[in-house]
Amino acid sequence: MAASSGGKKLLPEPSKGTSAASAHSSILRKSSSEKPVTEATGSGSKSSRNEDLHSVLVTSVLNLERLDLDLYSNEHSNRCTFTGTHHWVPRSRMLFGGQIVGQALVAAAMSVSENIYAHSLHCYFVRAGDPKVPVLYQVDRIRDGKSFSVRSVKAIQHGNPILICQSSFQRKMESPIHHQFTMPVVPSPNELLTQEELIQKYLRDPALTEKYKVGLTKLLAEEVPIEIKPINPPEYYRRVALESKQHFWVRARGYIGEGNMKLHCCVAAYISDYSFLRTALLPHFQYKVKFMASLDHSMWFHAPFRSDEWMLYECESPWAGSCRGLVQGRLWKQDGVLAVSCAQEGVFYVKPSAAESKL
């Protein structure tokens, strides 16, 4: 399924100067008519996952409607067809950054030919997204070179850009120059509880205070289309300074299938912004956040991967200051291959701590 208009499958736009035939690739192979998944499917390898439950990320969230050449809307994708409400929106009530980045990459990918693949993207979030109105995606074809193609995408609401995203695509190339770090040693996904199972465990704790019960119940009710298995999650009630690092296993909720790499990169863009920025707050438990938002987001796609299979998200924050925090992340495949690197800066405005307020 590529962009769809009135249910008809639309193939990506032929790149200018490229024969339509070579551009006839669908970045999203699965039809949008397939049943979206509404709950986690299967517990482990893709073979145990019900292949009829396609991820709502593919059937809906990343399913843009083509309005014109290089112009797309998420009007029909931003809604959960089975509930009529908008897809998951953080409690900040701003559009989730990962959704805007993922949709911007879908729009850019529609304008490049089949045999080149996303290798990097760099975005700025310039205005908060409004969950009450659709987003327009305007693609500018900056350059098509022999090996690389560059696109610029503007995500627009109320006539103003909310996101500007540059992305670059490269044709497959081999090279003798190759190295990567070694994947951290952590428990495998099968040894861990999902975030939902952890919350259920906390909710069974008789010592749980009402405040935490309400917060955890709200978190449980959120329909985030991502499955997460935290590694060494801090006890919810332990208010202590933690190292600015976290690891968790992560995958799209539901089946996506072999698809092609452009689709998995778009889903990884969505996934990569979830629970990422909070890494910078882990050492600063004593402060109450009044405002928090991602300022930018960058990704580098290194090797083929599947975003509907467990990947280890290794997150760390080397620095925070001047109301900003930097987070860096690496997505590892279970076989130890480094698939994706991410980086993001965010803005935090916090209330002074109790001790500071007394000064």
Ligand X SMILES: CCCC(=O)SCCNC(=O)CCNC(=O)[C@H](O)C(C)(C)COP(=O)(O)OP(=O)(O)OC[C@H]1O[C@@H](n2cnc3c(N)ncnc32)[C@H](O)[C@@H]1OP(=O)(O)O
Instruction: Tell me if 181 contacts ligand X by CB under 6 A.
Output: no
Burial class (CB in 10 A: 0-12, 13-18, 19+), 36: buried
Q: Which residues pair with 86 in a beta bridge?
A: 79
Whether residue 294 lies in the annotated active site = yes
Q: Which of 103, 294, 298, 341 is catalytic?
A: 294
Binding mask 185-204 for ligand X (x = CB under 6 A): --------------------
Q: How far is CA 28 from the centre of its chain?
A: 16
* Residue in the structure block whose two tokens are 């760390």: 316
The Cα–Cα gap between 123 and 114 comes to: 23
Distance in Å, CB of 228 to ligand X, minimum: 15
Single out the segment in contact with ligand X by CB under 6 A; choices: 134-142, 244-252, 293-301, 313-321: 293-301
Query: Which is the catalytic residue, given 70, 144, 273, 308?
Result: 273
- Scanning 125-133, 150-158, 179-187, 227-235 for contacts with ligand X by CB under 6 A, the matching segment is 125-133
- 347 contacts ligand X (rule: CB under 6 A): yes
User: Which positions from 78 to 97 touch ligand X by CB under 6 A, shown as an x/- string?
Assistant: ------------x-x-x-xx
Dist. CA 282–CA 310, nearest whole Å? 24
277 lines the binding site for ligand X (CB under 6 A): yes
**From 15, 73, 168, 344, active-site residue:** 344
Specify whether 273 is catalytic: yes
Q: Is 344 a catalytic residue?
A: yes
273 burial via Cβ count (<10 Å: 0-12, 13-18, 19+): buried
Whether 127 contacts 92, CB under 8 Å: no
Smallest separation (angstroms) from ligand X to the CB of 104 = 12
- Alpha carbon of 233 to those of 180, 228, 238, 274, 283: distances in Å? 27, 11, 10, 16, 14
Among 11, 126, 150, 186, binds ligand X (CB under 6 A): 126
How near is the Cβ of 286 to ligand X at its closest, in Å?
A: 16
How is residue 133 annotated by DSSP?
S
- The distance of closest approach from Cβ of residue 177 to ligand X in the complex, given in angstroms and rounded to an integer, is 35
Distance CA 66, CA 137 (A): 9
Helix 261-272 vs helix 97-109: angle between axes, to the nearest 10 degrees? 160
Among 272, 294, 298, 341, binds ligand X (CB under 6 A): 294
CA gap 74, 60 in Å, rounded: 9
Nearest distance, CB of residue 290 and ligand X, angstroms: 5
Q: Which is nearer to ligand X, 186 or 293 (CB)?
A: 293
The set of catalytic residues is 273, 294, 344
Residues that bind ligand X (CB under 6 A): 90, 92, 94, 96-97, 125-129, 273, 277, 290-295, 347, 349
